[in-house]
Chain A
């Protein structure tokens, strides 16, 4: 998750801040305009970093919102009178936010390659809209006759026509924007936004509607881009469809990555570096006329080299020394008892087909509350598909899934999670870049998964208690500060169970929780499962037969997608069908282990 900048970075930023504060006293009109442009660009690129670096969404159409912000100022300005500064900038922010909401509603349906292409296409559509039609004088661009100002009574407090005033307004807004986005990233909302980048699947399995969070982050970033656009329109008082150009979006990504995406301050350095590079390459007296004539070749080539050599950007050089912080082991506190969200699970004729293959074929089974139910069967028997149906990762082809009698078949994963069904994954599925505590925190926060939670509010104490309790229970209380991705496989699997406990689901589906664990860890998890069943219904998929027989109250055997036995371990052990189909003539207790 987003860390506060290191001391070294703060020093650099403070020096830059001082430099920019003093700048108007030393440079002429051209220099001031140049600096203003750079500051506005920085607001734009920092806003991009919010979705690009923090949420991990590569938007190639961010200029769309920059352009909308600029045009909004044009629309609210009249030819005879200056627009109010707040109206002008407000219109830019609001216009861009609305555009981001409309465009985001489509693009947030997609991911990966599609997201990149669709955001690019959306921005290009905006370009066409302003370029091909007569809106705001079409391809010629349009002038804002009188720049916005702030006049109260007869005194003009702020006049954007005054270059120095305007410069300081921009500088102040840059600082405010960075601080605001930084603050937002540290709220519960921001935590989930960063979770999007770290592990989207996990988020929805915890009960978060990822679409809403993506869209919200997209709108936030769009609104700040709109602010930058609105300011940009006030530099020359001129707006043109080129503001929407996809080159603009591409350069913004360049600068964000060059400076260090995902840090929120790195992009400022990226802007400075890129703009300085461009200026230097354009200056014939510095680089010779040949290079200056072909400066684009130089910037392009420099960027190619930068991408290939340095994935972390300039902010990487300003990273503080990573001294692992000593974290006191969390004290186990019992969180306030919450009403149990779900207890009993059952399936009726549950089926799933992939093409012609019936991976799960008419499974009917009842899983009574507060017991451990193990599901076993050879690989390819459909166990994981079965759990994916229960948790909503796959949509059933037919049949019902009943949680306390309510049919949840076909619900999206996040809704099922909110109904009280938590799951772990066959391959460990955590937020690798988050600390152990932050992982558990995201799970605990899922009790109120609404989008705009900007403060922890009254739930804070209880969430912290839940986190402490869950981590203590699985034995990770002393590892709270460790980065999850750097822990051993066994510890990561324990963390997954802690997340389920903190998430508060009443029904827990554990897909091979013991895979890759040593004997000591295995014993501990088996103990833990015994404890947990006092107030959880547990569905356990496991290959380790010793563990299964040690902990399971019922056994369900799947083979080729069908349920071939369901009952107490002893009954199943003696079942002829099980012995021939699954255990292949071996006595049950010596059944196969698990895949390597």
Chain B
């Protein structure tokens, strides 16, 4: 019983982190029309920023406060340098350029931080565990992490539904040309959306760092699972990304317990199933 409870919590936690990463990916698809393979690299950068910034500030949350704006700036720079040249090009060139970016990011990571996994300390005041049931304890940091993810997800929903920027984003999703013809410079909008996606992915990487540490290849793992999430949820749909993330998170958590060797395969099988039943994903537009 308590095993199931723990796995539900682990699954939700993983799913929420995935959501932060996948929502940026799906937004960038939906609005910029770019398939960004380097999206996972922002997650990786986040994890390593957590390492460095925590060592300076001494606290993961201070690191987060500094790291998110930093990731936003990095995102803007990447958009300006590379991604903006891809808007009018075909998928193939998008895939190629962003794949090449991965190679560059990976090499940069190995040059700066090396090849070995690095652990990031949890804040001491959250490193204890609390008992959920008499025989079951759960890490306080993990609970805090989930709370922060939920907070960020709610903030994102609020921004999209209720603010001026959100209106722009929704409008650009359906008719970017008209947004431009009504006086909004879509270059600025695209840059902000891309940077926001990068910042969300980096935030996920930073939050996860004390739990799963930072290691080479971490971003690519997240990227591929984020793709699965987006396929399940439907391209461009935030709601779909949310549901898909939780679904994958839970499937992964339970798969690891019940079919440990096939837990990854299980996730892809889930994707194949969705694909057959709903080729455009759960919330995708046909």
Residues of A within 8 A of B (CB): 52, 58, 60, 106, 109-110, 112-114, 116-118, 120-122, 124-125, 128-129, 132-134, 246, 250, 253-254, 257, 261, 293-294, 296-297, 299-301, 303-304, 307-308, 311
CB distance from A405 to the nearest CB of B (A): 31
Per CB-CB distance, the 8 closest pairs between chain A and chain B, nearest first, are A300-B103, A128-B264, A125-B268, A300-B104, A296-B107, A303-B100, A117-B227, A297-B107
List, in ascending order, chain A residues with CB within 8 A of B230's CB: 117
Given A109-B279, A128-B268, A304-B100, answer yes or no on A311-B224 (Cβ-Cβ < 8 Å).
no
Q: Is the CB of B95 within 8 A of A121?
A: no
CB distance from A277 to the nearest CB of B (A): 12
- Complex formed: what's the CA distance from A120 to B269 in Å? 14
Smallest CB gap from B103: residue in A: A300
List, in ascending order, chain B residues with CB within 8 A of A117's CB: 35, 227-228, 230-231
Q: Is the CB of B93 within 8 A of A253?
A: no
Q: State which of A106, A125, A246, A304 has its C-beta within 8 Å of the C-beta of B275.
A: A106
Q: Is the CB of B231 within 8 A of A121?
A: yes
Given A109-B276, A132-B264, A133-B262, answer yes or no on A304-B95 (Cβ-Cβ < 8 Å).
no
CB distance from B152 to the nearest CB of A (A): 24
Q: Is the CB of A125 within 8 A of B265?
A: yes
Q: Is the CB of A121 within 8 A of B224?
A: yes
Say yes or no for B165: interface residue by CB 8 A criterion: no
Say yes or no for B80: interface residue by CB 8 A criterion: no
Say yes or no for B145: interface residue by CB 8 A criterion: no
- Complex formed: what's the CA distance from A532 to B78 in Å? 58
Q: Is the CB of B275 within 8 A of A116?
A: no
Q: State which of B82, B95, B228, B265 has its C-beta within 8 Å of the C-beta of A116.
A: B95
Q: What are 8 of the A-B contact pairs (CB < 8 Å)? A: A120-B224, A121-B228, A121-B268, A124-B224, A125-B265, A253-B99, A297-B104, A308-B97
Q: Is the CB of B107 within 8 A of A254?
A: no
Given A116-B35, A120-B227, A301-B104, answer yes or no on A254-B96 (Cβ-Cβ < 8 Å).
yes
Q: Is the CB of B265 within 8 A of A128?
A: yes
Q: State which of B37, B107, B261, B272 has its C-beta within 8 Å of the C-beta of A133.
A: B261
Q: Is the CB of A294 within 8 A of B224?
A: no
Using A109-B275, A293-B111 as known contacts, list a sample of 13 further A-B pairs with CB atoms less than 8 Å apart, ordered by residue number in A.
A113-B29, A120-B227, A122-B268, A124-B224, A125-B264, A125-B269, A296-B103, A297-B104, A297-B111, A300-B101, A300-B102, A300-B103, A307-B97
Given A257-B96, A307-B97, answer yes or no on A296-B268 (Cβ-Cβ < 8 Å).
no
Given A120-B227, A121-B227, answer yes or no on A307-B103 (Cβ-Cβ < 8 Å).
no
CB distance from B229 to the nearest CB of A (A): 10
Interface residues in B99-119 by Cβ distance below 8 A to A read 99-104, 106-108, 111
B212-242: contact bitstring with A at CB < 8 Å (1 yes, 0 no)?
A: 0000000010001001101100010000000
Q: Is the CB of B93 within 8 A of A110?
A: no
Interface bin, chain B: 35 or more
Interface residues in B67-103 by Cβ distance below 8 A to A read 82, 85, 89, 91-93, 95-97, 99-103
Q: Is the CB of A112 within 8 A of B275?
A: no
List, in ascending order, chain B residues with CB within 8 A of A124's CB: 224, 264, 268
Smallest CB gap from B100: residue in A: A303
CB distance from A45 to the nearest CB of B (A): 13
- Complex formed: what's the CA distance from A423 to B268 in Å? 39
B189-223: contact bitstring with A at CB < 8 Å (1 yes, 0 no)?
A: 00000000000000000000000000000001000
List, in ascending order, chain A residues with CB within 8 A of B261's CB: 132-134
List, in ascending order, chain A residues with CB within 8 A of B85's CB: 308
Given A121-B271, A294-B111, answer yes or no on A250-B91 (Cβ-Cβ < 8 Å).
no
- Complex formed: what's the CA distance from A349 to B230 in Å? 39
Say yes or no for B186: interface residue by CB 8 A criterion: no
Q: Is the CB of A296 within 8 A of B275?
A: no
Q: Is the CB of A113 within 8 A of B91?
A: yes
- Complex formed: what's the CA distance from A293 to B112 in Å? 13
- Complex formed: what's the CA distance from A303 to B95 in Å? 12
Smallest CB gap from A134: residue in B: B261
Q: Is the CB of A114 within 8 A of B235?
A: yes
- Complex formed: what's the CA distance from A110 to B35 in Å? 15
Q: Is the CB of A112 within 8 A of B97?
A: no
List, in ascending order, chain B residues with CB within 8 A of A118's CB: 231, 271, 275
Smallest CB gap from B224: residue in A: A124
Given A254-B96, A257-B96, answer yes or no on A113-B235 (Cβ-Cβ < 8 Å).
yes
Q: Which of A114, A246, A301 has the most CB of B within 10 A?
A: A114
Q: Is the CB of B100 within 8 A of A307?
A: yes
- Complex formed: what's the CA distance from A113 to B234 in Å? 11
CB distance from B234 to the nearest CB of A (A): 10
Given A133-B261, A253-B95, A303-B103, answer yes or no on A297-B108 (Cβ-Cβ < 8 Å).
yes
B18-37: contact bitstring with A at CB < 8 Å (1 yes, 0 no)?
A: 00000000000100000101
Say yes or no for B52: interface residue by CB 8 A criterion: no
Smallest CB gap from A114: residue in B: B231
CB distance from A581 to the nearest CB of B (A): 30
Given A128-B264, A304-B97, answer yes or no on A253-B108 (Cβ-Cβ < 8 Å).
no
Q: Is the CB of B106 within 8 A of A296?
A: yes
Q: Is the CB of B99 within 8 A of A261?
A: no
CB distance from B173 to the nearest CB of A (A): 15
Smallest CB gap from A293: residue in B: B111
- Complex formed: what's the CA distance from A117 to B230 in Å? 9
List, in ascending order, chain B residues with CB within 8 A of A58's CB: 91-92, 95
- Complex formed: what's the CA distance from A307 to B82 in Å? 11
Smallest CB gap from B231: residue in A: A117
Smallest CB gap from A305: residue in B: B100
Q: Is the CB of A106 within 8 A of B103?
A: no
Smallest CB gap from A124: residue in B: B224
List, in ascending order, chain B residues with CB within 8 A of A308's CB: 82, 85, 97
List, in ascending order, chain A residues with CB within 8 A of B37's CB: 250
- Complex formed: what's the CA distance from A553 to B100 in Å? 61
Q: State which of A106, A261, A301, A303 has its C-beta within 8 Å of the C-beta of B92.
A: A261
Q: Is the CB of B224 within 8 A of A253?
A: no
- Complex formed: what's the CA distance from A308 to B102 in Å? 16
- Complex formed: what's the CA distance from A300 to B97 in Å? 9
List, in ascending order, chain B residues with CB within 8 A of A296's CB: 103-104, 106-107
Given A133-B262, A294-B107, A300-B103, answer yes or no on A311-B231 (Cβ-Cβ < 8 Å).
no
CB distance from A268 to the nearest CB of B (A): 18
- Complex formed: what's the CA distance from A262 to B13 in Å? 45
Q: Is the CB of A112 within 8 A of B99?
A: no
